[in-house]
């Protein structure tokens, strides 16, 4: 105990850890430090962009920490960019991230589902009762879908009417259904009320599916039934629906007269019913229900209502000591629930743990988010801001600054750059979060063979 941190300057720590995160997509980590609690046991539940980033940042900075990642799945197909797979711009294989990089760093990766947390004994448990002890616990379990909010919907019904809101077989099912539907068929997307995972994603998905329909099944139609009156990047998406997908997309927002919240479905007939009593029999029904924090957060006693309150300067749970909650599961207004946010929050959590185990001063939290949405080939829009703890409306909040958003009148070149930026971001975040080896430099393009002159 009491080892001082000597090989890390305050400035480096501050900027690389809780700082802007992925700024310019440079892969930054913490310089290695000695730990004040050698062998401190850090257990992380959830190996998405939130949990995996925490594990990697900790182990890279303090190799003598015992870092354990508990993740149900053996690989992580990313939700981010899964809409591009639906649009035909990515393969499913390109979304799959492995934990090989984490294992190579010395992180213990357990491919199991945590079923219980005893916060008094500081133990995580599995279904067989086996305990894993922790000194600090990090929860990044993502979301649980509230199937029960839509009559007739269930995990089983999602096998016919996929949500595809957790990437994996559900996303592949939705893609297969789109491929199998007739030209002239109807796709319904139901978008829930806020808060939910990735606010712009239903609209990006609408663009990606509309692009597929326009190019492959032009007589088909997509109806987006929305529980909301307005949504993020609305002008940009509406512009795309109007100019690029006028014959494909009908956007049905809710208002006082027409509430287009989907309230009932029938998986046998694929009928979708809105509160307004509008009924649509869909060829493909993509039902995205309301959501809450992943179950284990509730089991651990970290929830208040559907989500987990946290201290904004550390993302420590305000309900349970020595437990952090981040990513989609946390309440972090006005940060959207996104992979970018989860990755940025993860660096703050890692910084806080490192400060604690090294007995060092904390530094002000600085967080960041950018969400790109692809609306057509070589055409992406974006929104983003920085966030820091502060007072807003008399309450402790995360206060946004430096916000930016794409404009409807941008040139094709700007949109193309946005798209390229988003591709670079996907590569950077997955390389960093999953400690993936950087992609090998592209092979030299093959030179065209010289044609022999005949004659």
Ligand X SMILES: Cc1cc2nc3c(=O)[nH]c(=O)nc-3n(C[C@H](O)[C@H](O)[C@H](O)COP(=O)(O)OP(=O)(O)OC[C@H]3O[C@@H](n4cnc5c(N)ncnc54)[C@H](O)[C@@H]3O)c2cc1C
- Pick one of 101, 185, 192, 294: the residue that binds ligand X (CB under 6 A): 294
Which residue, 65 or 335, has its beta carbon nearer to ligand X? 335
Which residue, 47 or 289, has its beta carbon nearer to ligand X? 47
Which residue, 207 or 274, has its beta carbon nearer to ligand X? 207
Is residue 47 involved in binding ligand X (CB under 6 A)? yes
Is residue 222 involved in binding ligand X (CB under 6 A)? no
- Pick one of 338, 380, 406, 418: the residue that binds ligand X (CB under 6 A): 338
- Tokens representing 428 are 């950077």
Is residue 56 involved in binding ligand X (CB under 6 A)? no
Which positions from 90 through 129 interact with ligand X, judged by CB under 6 A? 113-114
Closest distance of CB 168 from ligand X, Å: 9
- Pick one of 140, 254, 314, 418: the residue that binds ligand X (CB under 6 A): 140
Which residue, 16 or 171, has its beta carbon nearer to ligand X? 171
| 3-class DSSP assignment, residue 181 | coil
Question: What CA–CA distance (Å, rounded) separates 342 from 239?
Answer: 29
Pick the stretch among 69-77, 180-188, 241-249, 300-308 that binds ligand X (CB under 6 A).
Answer: 69-77
- Strand pairing category for 66-70 and 41-45: parallel
**DSSP characters over 256-305:** SS----EEEEETTTTEEEETT--EEE-SEEEE---EEE-HHHHHTT--BT
Is residue 43 involved in binding ligand X (CB under 6 A)? no
Q: What is the dihedral of CA 206, 208, 209, 215, to 10 degrees?
A: 130
CB-hemisphere CA count at 13 Å for 10? 5
- Pick one of 19, 21, 49, 185: the residue that binds ligand X (CB under 6 A): 49
Is residue 201 involved in binding ligand X (CB under 6 A)? yes
Strand partners, 324: 138, 316
CB 249 within 8 A of CB 376: no
Closest distance of CB 341 from ligand X, Å: 7
Is residue 72 involved in binding ligand X (CB under 6 A)? yes
Pick the stretch among 21-29, 96-104, 198-206, 237-245 that binds ligand X (CB under 6 A).
Answer: 198-206
Separation in Å, CA 91 to CA 84, 88, 216, 254: 9, 7, 17, 34
Dmax (CA) of the chain: 88
The neighbour count for residue 449, using CB atoms within 10 Å, is: 6
Look up residue 310 and give its DSSP letter. Answer: B
Is residue 242 involved in binding ligand X (CB under 6 A)? no
Closest distance of CB 145 from ligand X, Å: 11
Contact set with ligand X (CB under 6 A)? 45-51, 70-73, 76, 79-80, 82-83, 113-114, 140-142, 165, 197-198, 201, 205, 294, 296, 327-328, 337-340, 342, 371-372
């Amino acid at each position: 105990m009491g080892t001082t941190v000597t090989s890390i300057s305050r400035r480096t720590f501050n900027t690389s850890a809780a700082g802007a995160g992925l700024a310019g997509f440079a892969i930054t980590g913490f310089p290695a430090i000695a730990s004040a609690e050698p062998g401190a046991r850090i257990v992380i539940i959830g190996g998405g962009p939130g949990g995996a980033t925490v594990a990697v940042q900790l182990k890279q900075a303090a190799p003598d920490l015992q870092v354990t990642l508990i993740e149900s799945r053996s690989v992580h197909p990313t939700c981010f960019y899964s809409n591009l797979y639906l649009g035909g711009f990515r393969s499913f294989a390109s979304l799959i991230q492995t934990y090989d990089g984490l294992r190579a760093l010395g992180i213990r990766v357990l491919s199991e589902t945590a079923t219980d947390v005893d916060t008094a004994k500081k133990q995580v448990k599995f279904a067989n009762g086996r305990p894993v002890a922790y000194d600090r616990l990090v929860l990044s379990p993502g979301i649980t879908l509230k199937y029960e909010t839509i009559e007739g919907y269930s995990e089983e019904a999602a096998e016919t009417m996929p949500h595809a809101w957790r990437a994996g077989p559900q996303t592949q099912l939705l893609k297969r259904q789109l491929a199998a539907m007739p030209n002239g068929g109807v796709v319904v997307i139901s978008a829930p009320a806020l808060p939910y995972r990735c606010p712009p994603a239903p609209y990006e998905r609408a663009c990606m599916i509309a692009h597929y329909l326009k190019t492959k099944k032009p007589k088909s139609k997509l109806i987006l039934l929305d529980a909301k009156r307005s949504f993020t990047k609305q002008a940009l998406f509406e512009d795309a629906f109007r100019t690029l997908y006028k014959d494909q997309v009908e956007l049905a927002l809710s208002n006082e007269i027409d509430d287009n919240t989907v309230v009932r479905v029938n998986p046998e007939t694929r009928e979708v019913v809105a509160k307004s009593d509008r009924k649509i029999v869909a060829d493909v029904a993509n039902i995205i229900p309301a959501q809450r924090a992943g179950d284990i957060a509730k089991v651990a006693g970290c929830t208040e209502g559907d989500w987990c309150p946290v201290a904004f300067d550390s993302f420590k749970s305000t309900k349970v000591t020595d437990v952090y909650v981040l990513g989609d599961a946390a309440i972090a207004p006005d940060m959207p629930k996104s992979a970018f946010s989860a990755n940025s929050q993860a660096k703050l959590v890692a910084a806080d743990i490192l400060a604690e185990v090294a007995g060092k001063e904390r530094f002000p939290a600085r967080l960041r988010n950018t969400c790109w949405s692809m609306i057509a080939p070589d055409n992406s829009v974006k929104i983003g801001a920085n966030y820091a703890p502060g007072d807003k409306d008399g309450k402790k909040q995360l206060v946004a600054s430096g916000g930016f958003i794409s404009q409807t009148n941008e040139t094709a070149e700007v949109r193309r750059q946005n798209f390229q930026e988003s591709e670079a971001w996907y590569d950077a975040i997955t390389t960093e979060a999953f400690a993936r080896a950087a992609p090998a430099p592209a092979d030299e393009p093959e030179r065209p063979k010289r044609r022999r002159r005949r004659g």
